[in-house]
Amino acid sequence: PERKQINDGYKLLEELSAVDAKRRVTKLGRTMARLPLDPRLARMLVTSADQGSLAEVLIVIAGLSIQDPRERPQEKQQAADQAHAPFNDKESDFATLINIWNWFEEQRQEMSQNQLKKLCQKTFLSWMRMREWRDIHRQLTLICREQKLALNKEPAGYDPIHKAILAGLLGQVAVKVEKREYLATRNRKVMIFPGSKVAKSGPKWIVAAEIVETSKVFARMVAGIQPEWVEPLAGHVVKHHYFEPHWEQKRAQVMGYEKVSLYGLDVVPKRRIPYAKVDPKECRDLFIRRALVEGDYRSKAPFIARNREMLDTVENLEKKTRRRDLLVDDEVLVAFYDERLPDDIISGRHFESWWKGLSAEELKKLELTEADVLQRPVDQSAAELYPDYLEWQGVKYPLSYEFEPTSERDGVTLRVPLMALKQIPERRLEWLVPGLLREKCIALVKGLPKSLRRNFVPVPDFVDAALENMQPDNEPLALKLGEQLRRMTGVQIDPDAWPEDELPRHLRMNLRVTGDKGKTIAESRDASELQDKLEGRAEQALASATDQETDDREPAEYTDWQFGKLPEKVQTEKGGMQVTVYPALEDLGQKVRTTRCLDRLTAEDTTRRGIARLIIHRFGNTLSDLERKLPRFRQSALMFAPVGKAKVLLDDLLLSTVMQHFLAEDLPRDRDSFLQCFDEHRGDFIPALEEADERLYQAMTGYQKIAKQLKGKISLAQANSMADLKFQMQNLVYPGFLVDTPAQWLARFGVYFEAADIRLEKMPREMGREREFLHTIEPLWARYATKRDQQKRQGVKDPELELYRWMLEEFRVSFFAQQLGTAITVSVKRLNKQWEKTRV
């Protein structure tokens, strides 16, 4: 034979494991050599004994050794197909052979030879080939006995039968690539022979007894198989390709993927495997890079935590200073560990075992120093320029930094617990941190219109000079910067000219609101937006904040001091932050309850009213039927009727009088001091209430006089002025005005009403002055109303804003009735100066 034929023969024998790579006969090969069969069939036979399917595979091997016993005459094809149909197996042509054999053997047991011959003819089976099949089967059975290959007593299933068949046909495996097309080993494209019933079911993977080329390349005598059967049978001829080594933190080792192919077919396309046996050097490199340098590994080694802390510090400093040139390149760190780790440290298991045997001195050498991680020296003032906390009124708000210009979190982020959202100093946030303040101020000035900007050139020099006289506070940064620029140049900058909304992200503080467990609830660079959006949730969070254990049996609402001591303030931890809250006593109308406030002054005002309610309860029946007992009240109530009900006015009168008479000084904080306060002032309370009744009557008389004049027809020229007067009256007299109005300003109501009367008298002949006043007062009031509503949302009380509000009333007096005199000196300039003192 030709050399190629000899080589092909050896390749087949190696495929069948009959010879090894050096063409030496194997133990299996010697067993196969004793069988008078084609090598492929011999391999099937030997393997079937191991699989427990020898009985079935003997039938198949004998059947493959003869011509197909099924006959299909051209003139009787349909009849033949119908006769053969009961034998057909849609998954395997080999199983079809077994079905024919089993049928024939059953019939042979019951029929004479002549009857059986006729039945075969009727069933379109060749009588001669069936006899030949039986003869070969008998011979093979005898050989198996001689070779001590035991026949299985129980019928074998599909898998053991076809695994044995596959063992002899490894070179004739194919996988479906299209609807009817298969890709066989050695890149052959084949189709299942149309006569096979397996062609209809079209298994994903098949094995064929033969591949022949006629009009096309066909796979004949086929069966469906599972690809995972191939590797155990063909481990000596499959090829392994390893790829994508990667570090897995959970396993603490390098893993990769393996592809197993048989003559070009991927029988295992991607299998995850430990990579250490494939490439230990690559594993060591990945372990150093991913586990030690990138920190994707949990170890109890002390130097690992210290090194990570050192790297985090430098990385955080880069984020703070917005630069990328402080931390050394990863390759430097890789080299650091590469020099110190033995060559066999390739996984977490190896690493842990190694470092635990090191001495203290050896462990010290594994710690990174600043010299190891820094490319250049660091400015020691960085900690002051870029602090980790913003401290305000005893609360430390954590700060974090990002240097990612495309990220929504670029710049500084202040973390605030939901319950403390109302407490944040909005305007203080505009000042950012010292390290970014200069850059922001320069950006603000450079963003001004050119007509203004040219007055401050060079911009950095003007900003530096301005910052020398500026200290971060809860006041608008642009306003303070504008004041300094005006001081230096005389140029006034309109507040609307500042380009605050056009600044880069990192020059506007980002706010992250967190829940109790530190989980992010919302983020924004607009504090007011967050407060509006989360107002209800913030109030609920505050209401649930408590550090005191309460007795579940105690009532939640009270009419007497039954709730123990009421401390001025308490510290509570929320979202990892220490937050100061102020316990308060809230008036519910008829009862009170304990609550918490984030603002001290708000808590005091709330508590003063709550204690006043308890004092009223303590008087009991003494204060019954006051509408009749107070000489002026009924008249006052009649004048108040267009505004509200008499009982509302009476309750307001009682509360305000109790607050002024009993609680003008320090508030009682426990039951004993509460009772002492009550006993000290109860004796002269009724006279004080009668005096308050008289003051109320005088005020309501003045109010009614103005209210009457505001009714009826109004000339078009006076419409705006009359509307302003109505608005003024609505903001002076309303349900609850006696409690809301401080005593010193309540005493001025008579003057305010008299001034309004004088204004009404002069109005027809001084419309020019009216227009001047309206033009002046409207923006002054508008900014007050905006800030009042803002502070109400925040739950804060601002005495400076309250003073500003009553200065507006005094301004009305000075403008229209200067002869009446004002309680304090007032002007637009003084109003603006007072405005600057208000809280933001």
Nearest CA to 515 among 488, 492, 545? Answer: 545
- Would you state the structure tokens that stand for residue 80, as one six-digit string? 């033949």
The rounded distance, in Å, linking the Cα atoms of 387 and 384 is 6
Let me know if 360 is exposed, middle or buried by CB neighbors in 10 A (0-12, 13-18, 19+): exposed
Contact 507, 432 (CB under 8 A): yes
Strand partners, 19: 25
- Note the pLDDT tens digit of each residue in 585-620: 999 999 999 988 888 889 999 999 999 999 999 998
- Whether omega before 377 lies within 30 degrees of 0, making that bond cis, reads no
Q: What is the pLDDT of residue 282?
A: 97
The chain-wide mean pLDDT, for the chain, equals 92
User: What is the structure's pLDDT at 554?
Assistant: 47
Asked if 408 and 505 count as a contact pair (C-beta separation under 8 A), the reply is yes
Note the pLDDT tens digit of each residue in 612-646: 999 999 998 888 888 888 999 999 999 999 999 99
- Spatial distance between the Cα atoms of 641 and 289, rounded to a whole number of angstroms: 81
**Cα–Cα distance between 62 and 72 in angstroms, integer?**
21
Dump the DSSP string for 171-215. Answer: GGEEEE-SSSEEEEGGGEEEEE-TT-THHHH--SEEEEEEEEESS
Q: Which residues contact 614 (CB under 8 A, 6 or more apart)?
A: 558, 559, 560, 561, 585, 592, 674
For the cut 80, the answer to whether the pLDDT of residue 673 exceeds it is: yes
Sign of CA dihedral 18, 22, 27, 33: positive
* pLDDT tens by residue, 409-433: 999 999 999 888 888 888 899 999 9
User: Angle at the Cα of 817 (from 813 to 819), degrees rounded to 5?
Assistant: 115
**pLDDT of 549 strictly over 80:** no
Give 401: exposed, middle or buried? Use CB within 10 Å, 0-12, 13-18, 19+.
buried
Asked if residue 754 has pLDDT above 50, the reply is yes
Q: How far is the C-alpha of 143 from the C-alpha of 58, rounded, in Å?
A: 11
C-alpha distances (whole Å) from 47 to each of 29, 163, 210, 609, 653 are 12, 8, 19, 96, 106
User: pLDDT band at 524, cuts 50/70/90?
Assistant: very high
Question: Mean pLDDT over residues 649-657, rounded?
Answer: 95
The CA angle 77-80-82, to the nearest 5 degrees, is 110
Token pair 């829940």: residue: 515
Token pair 């009042």 in the structure block, residue: 788
In this prediction, residues 687-706 reach a mean pLDDT of 95
